[in-house]
Amino acid sequence: MKVTQVLANSKDPLISFEIIPPKRGGDIQSLLSTIESIAKYKPPFIDITSHAAEIVYEETPKGIRKKVIRKRPGTLGICALIQNKYKIEAVPHILCKNFTKEETEDFLIELGYLGVNNVLAIQGDDKGFEKEVSGGRSTNKFAIDLVKQISDMNKGIYLEEELLDAKPSDFCIGVSGYPEKHYEAPNLKTDLLFTKQKIEAGADYIVTQMFFENKAFFDYRNKAKELEINVPILPGLKILTSKAHLTGIPKNFYINIPEELSTEIMEAKPGM
C-alpha cells in the first residue's frame, strides 16, 4: 500500500521508523533484532536509508591512503526483508549523489520486482567524492531531477530503449522538507518554492527534517499551505539519547535545539 493511501485510511496518529543499513562487512543480526523489536508495534512503513560511495582515509606503513568505498550497502536486501517477511511497507531512500540515472533506473526496477512501491527521493549528502560519469551516462543533480525520472517511469518512460514497452511503474514518491529551511536556501520561502516544484514534478508527500521546536513545524506547514502545497507533510522526529547530540546534531543537520531542552539535557544525571 502506498504511503498516501495509508495516511488517507488512518483514523489515528501513526508512527513510522527509519533504519540505517549496517556498515560494510558488519553483522546484520543487530539490525534484524531492531526490525523484530519495532515490527511488533505494526508500523505502517519503515524508511531505509541509502548511502553512496564516499572517500575515507586509511593509515598504512607507506602513509595515508585515500580510498573510495560504500560504507553502508544493503538497502535493497533490507527492503526485501521488510516488505516480504514482515509485511511492512518499505520506503527506500533514492539518492542523486554518486548514482547515475541508469543505476537509479535499475534499482527502481529491482524494487518493483520486490513489490516495493514507495520511495523517498533526496539529493543526498556531499561526502567529498564525485563519481566520474562516462559512456554516455548522466546523473540527477537535484532532487527535482530525480523526482522527474521516477515520475517518468510511472508514465512508462524509461531510459533504456529495450524497456520502452515495459509497464509503467507505480511508485509513491516522497521528498524532504525543512522546517528551519535547507542550509543552502537563502530563506524559508525560497526553500518552500523549491519544494513546491518537486510536488509539481510528481512528488506525493513530504517528510521533514528533524526538529525540536513544534512551532517551527506548524509554521512550516502553514506557510506551505499558503503556497498551495497540499500534499501530506509528515513530521520527522528524533530522540536525543546523548549529550553529544547537543553539538553533533546542530553541526551536521543545521537545526536549532531550544534552550529549555538543551538545559534539561545538560543538567541530566551522568549516563544521559
Residue 18 domain-assigned (yes or no):
yes
Q: In the chain, helix, strand, coil percent, each to 5?
A: 35, 20, 45
Q: Is residue 141 part of a domain?
A: no
Question: Looking at residue 104, which CATH number applies to its domain?
Answer: 3.20.20.220
The yes-or-no verdict on residue 154 having pLDDT over 90 is yes
Assess if residue 143 is contained within a domain.
Answer: no
pLDDT above 80 (res 54) = no
Position of cell 507533510? 233
Q: Which amino acid is at 154?
A: N
Residue pLDDT, tens place only, 205-256 = 999 999 999 999 999 999 999 999 999 999 999 999 889 999 999 999 999 9
Backbone angles phi, psi at 11, to 5 degrees: -100, -15
Interatomic CA distance for residues 146 and 124, integer angstroms = 11
Residue 215: inside a domain: yes
Q: 40 lies in which domain range?
A: 3-131+149-266
Query: 209 with 180: CB under 8 angstroms?
Result: yes
- How many CB atoms sit inside 10 A of residue 175's CB? 26
* Angle, helix 214-226 to helix 188-200, in steps of 10 degrees: 60
Q: How confident is the model at residue 130 (pLDDT cuts 50, 70, 90)?
A: low
pLDDT at 162: 72
Query: Does 72 or 95 have the greater pLDDT score?
Result: 95
Q: Which of 12-16, 96-100, 159-163 has the lowest mean pLDDT?
A: 159-163
Inside any domain, residue 144: no
- Distance of alpha carbon 92 from alpha carbon 73, whole angstroms: 12
Report the candidate in 236, 263, 225 with the shortest Cα–Cα distance to residue 122.
Answer: 236
Catalogue the E-assigned strands of 96-249. 118-122, 172-177, 205-210, 233-236
Between CA 206 and CA 203 the distance in angstroms is: 8
Helix 101-113 with 75-84: angle, nearest 10 deg? 20
In a domain? residue 271: no
pTM for the complete prediction?
A: 0.89
- Report whether pLDDT(125) > 90: no
Asked, for residue 272, whether it belongs to a domain, the answer is no
Query: Is 233 contained in some domain?
Result: yes
Count of structural domains within the chain: 1
Please state, in angstroms and rounded to a whole number, the distance separating the CA atoms of residues 50 and 74.
8
For cell 514534478, name the residue.
Answer: 201
